[in-house]
Structure 1
Amino acid sequence: MSTALVFGANGVSGIALLQALSASSDKEWKKIIAISRRPPVLDHDDPRVVFESVDLLAPKDEVVQKLRHAGAAEATHTFFYAYIAKEDEQELIDVNRKLFGNAMEAVAEVSKQMKVFLLQTGYKYYGTHKGGENLASYPWKADSPRHEGGNFYYVQEDMLKDECNKNGWKWIVTRPNFILGVTKGNFMSLATTVALYASGCKALNQPLVFPGSSVSYKLEYDQSTAANNAAFQIFAATTEKAYNRAFNIYDGKTETFVDLWPKIADYFGVKLASPPADDPPSSANIGSDVVNLHSVPEWAKNHKSDLEKLVKEQDLDPDALKYATWDFLDFATSRTWKDRATLDEARSIGWTKTVDSFEDGFKPVFEELKRLKVIPA
């Protein structure tokens, strides 16, 4: 029997993993230790789940004490999702280096039964946040060359390998792309922001305007449903062939917004703009530029009072609009380069699952957001 130690347990990925572990037998996982700075944001009806509020930027002794209090001495498998966002690249690297380093050092001191440490990074490894010459050659593979310059994923993955070698642990890295899941907080959830945007368009009797250009509308993107990511991560953490390896993880089928955007509009009962996406200006550098033609942050700012009125009239969560990451939606729909990776590494260890990004990703998120009263039912 194993004990899971989950850092970042209140985020989209952490919550998905807790749910997947809770669906398992107690003969597989006897205890699930959930670590997050905040108290739990969603209910977890499983007596095996133990929450501990921990600030990973606190002095190491304090982190060690908290882990001991939570019972992390029994932990055998660590799953790490904790993250602090910063706009400046070097600040992002520095704060997440400290965050991750504190966590690993505390685990090494407390969890003497630790066997496997899994770190989730993502497609930024391949330069998808930068574009142009920073992009790795398609399709992106786990061993694709790193781009020039700083990237906090590179720092964390190197730290992981060093710490695991030092402590005799096995390491695993998983790299998803856009993660489709639910949490109550501002955690770059594309599906949550799309839901709030579409709900606003519905209430205002406006068409669902695509933020980017027709180029982005037609590009191939890998979507990574949180539940599918979690299932793979548990599979990998308990499969010896996965140890000391990195893996891409996405839903298994390439998607375009040509397919997804009309399904989203149909779900919310809103019309598509005509045409559904505008052409980019001739001056645009396709493959390097972010071409945003219809700013969703500007739309949200212009309709702030309307959206606040909708929240009150529908008796929604008073913080519903705070869960939107409008800038992230603009960026995700306005880049002029595709996201295409291979699942060859995951398939090589026996992972055969494929899920539908809308039916198994976006749609369940929308349904859960209704239940949580983040969007109107």
Structure 2
Amino acid sequence: MIRHYQASLEQKYSGACIVKVAIFGGSGVVGRALLEHLMKENIPAVALARRAPDLLGANFVSLDLLDPKQCENVVKTHLHDVTHVVYAALFEQPGLISGWQDDQQMQTNLTMLSNIMAPLKTVETLEHITLLQGTKAYGAHIAPMRIPGREREPRHPHNNFYWLQEDLLNAEAARQGWRFTIWRPQIIFGHALNAPMNLLAALGVYAALQAHQGSSLAYPGGPSGVMEAIDANLLARAICFAWSHPGFDNETFNITNGDVFTMEDIWPVLNDLFNLEPGPVEPQLLAATCYDREAIWSDIVSQHKLKPYTIRQVVGDSFFYADALLNARGSAPPPPSVLSTIKLRKAGFSDCIDTEDMLRNWFGKLQSMKILPSPAR
């Protein structure tokens, strides 16, 4: 069977012998998108997480990365022949934002990677590891970042679990002979249940609640700054592209859709998608105003025959994330957060997508999946 996959996939991926992919954090926004992409491409993949992804036919193994014994057993039982690892797992404290500079949260994220890295050293077939970081690598969460953020810059002088994980990966890859690629995506748009940073779900549930109550779609944020997004599907394609292109070996890459936006400027797209009248600017904390509207959401689920998820199941902690991105507490626009993707283009990956098109695609998908209601026209 392994030789069969090697033969069929060598041709598709220009010589890369992709036999089996392990996705840690396989139920998250990135992991789920990658898993779905690999399933469509008939590439064997296993999702590992505490919760199963809501993806029909997914090969799923339950795993708590804080349990080293369980990590060892899972590798022996399910990953002895894995060739590519994608580490997209993440620990976030409840409430999200306060944990970003918390030392214990940083150590927890390091421990999770270390616990699975130890038994992976026994896997002789392992070739490549993908690690996810993000814009916080440029210190954008604590101070105005240099524009644009470039991968060649020295590490921003702040404590970050990214550096702890990166140092561990560098050391183990050198010892084991593994190749690796580190990704720094901008704001990721995709689908996952119970995710801590899923802006798509937060905006969709807020719009659905407003529509059901006959309200306009009031803009809930403060003055908006210039941002970039990344479609989770585009990121999934880039991750796979890197496996078979040596220019990506042992390198770090920013990735974005290719355009910029502000939250206020994309708001008319949401008005159109949910068939809502534009509303006034009404700054509010969605984390304070939306979680307790569960009874209204239950009516929406019943009326539109949606999957029986609660608001918390659909959104996770993402209303806290939305409040930060919407600058709900701000009186002036936040500093811009813009990344250079020149290194990525020079390495050969040039896929892009218009952010407004991405929003239409994803909201349409969530409506077809019966996660969000389709608006009356």
TM-score range, shorter chain: 0.7 to 0.9
Distance of 2:194 and 2:292 partners within structure 1: 23
Distance of 2:158 and 2:50 partners within structure 1: 30
Evaluate the alpha carbon distance shift between residue 83 and residue 262 of structure 1 in structure 2; reply closer, same or farther with a 3 A threshold. Answer: same
Match of 1:326 in 2: 319
RMSD: 1.9
Query: What letter matches 2:365 in structure 1?
Result: E
Contact 2:32 2:53 in 1 (8 A): no
Query: What is the CA distance between 1:365 and its match in structure 2?
Result: 2.1
Are 1:115 and 2:119 matched, yes or no? Answer: no
Match of 1:374 in 2: 371
Render the CA deviation track for 1:48-68: whole Å, top value 9, x for unaligned: x63221111112x43122122
Distance of 2:307 and 2:36 partners within structure 1: 22
Q: Higher mean Cα deviation, 140-149 or 199-208? A: 140-149
Match of 1:124 in 2: 136
Match of 2:40 in 1: 23
Contact 1:172 1:245 in 2 (8 A): yes
Are 1:73 and 2:96 matched, yes or no? Answer: no
Contact 1:42 1:184 in 2 (8 A): no
Evaluate the alpha carbon distance shift between residue 129 and residue 170 of structure 1 in structure 2; reply closer, same or farther with a 3 A threshold. Answer: same
Structure 1 SS opposite 2:36: helix
Contact 1:12 1:183 in 2 (8 A): yes
Query: What letter matches 1:207 in structure 2?
Result: S
Query: What is the CA distance between 1:241 and its match in structure 2?
Result: 0.7
Contact 1:173 1:247 in 2 (8 A): yes
Query: What is the CA distance between 1:272 and its match in structure 2?
Result: 1.8
Structure 2 SS opposite 1:246: strand
Render the CA deviation track for 1:176-195: whole Å, top value 9, x for unaligned: 12111112223321111101
Query: What letter matches 2:337 in structure 1?
Result: D
Match of 1:230 in 2: 236
Match of 1:54 in 2: 63
Identity %: 24
What are the residue-to-residue correspondences of 1:1-377 with 2, within 5 Å? 1=6, 2=18, 3-24=20-41, 26=42, 29=43, 31-44=44-57, 50-59=59-68, 61-70=69-78, 72-86=79-93, 87-88=98-99, 89-109=102-122, 111-130=123-142, 132=143, 135-214=144-223, 216=224, 219-274=225-280, 277=281, 293-301=283-291, 303-322=293-312, 323-324=314-315, 325-334=318-327, 336-359=334-357, 361-377=358-374
Structure 1 SS opposite 2:353: coil
Distance of 1:93 and 1:258 partners within structure 2: 33
Distance of 1:39 and 1:200 partners within structure 2: 27
Query: What is the CA distance between 1:10 and its match in structure 2?
Result: 0.8
Unaligned runs of 5+ in 2: 1-5, 7-17
Structure 1 SS opposite 2:290: helix
Distance of 1:80 and 1:265 partners within structure 2: 36
TM-score by length of 1: 0.86
Query: What is the CA distance between 1:304 and its match in structure 2?
Result: 4.3
Contact 1:42 1:183 in 2 (8 A): no
Render the CA deviation track for 1:10-66: whole Å, top value 9, x for unaligned: 111111111221232x5xx4x21221222342213xxxx63221111112x431221
Evaluate the alpha carbon distance shift between residue 53 and residue 302 of structure 1 in structure 2; reply closer, same or farther with a 3 A threshold. Answer: closer
Distance of 2:265 and 2:356 partners within structure 1: 9
Distance of 1:159 and 1:6 partners within structure 2: 18
Distance of 1:179 and 1:317 partners within structure 2: 23
TM-score by length of 2: 0.86
Distance of 1:37 and 1:298 partners within structure 2: 27
Q: Higher mean Cα deviation, 1-10 or 188-197? A: 1-10
Contact 2:28 2:53 in 1 (8 A): no
Render the CA deviation track for 1:256-309: whole Å, top value 9, x for unaligned: 2243111111110112224xx47xxxxxxxxxxxxxx32212321564433333
Contact 1:63 1:103 in 2 (8 A): yes
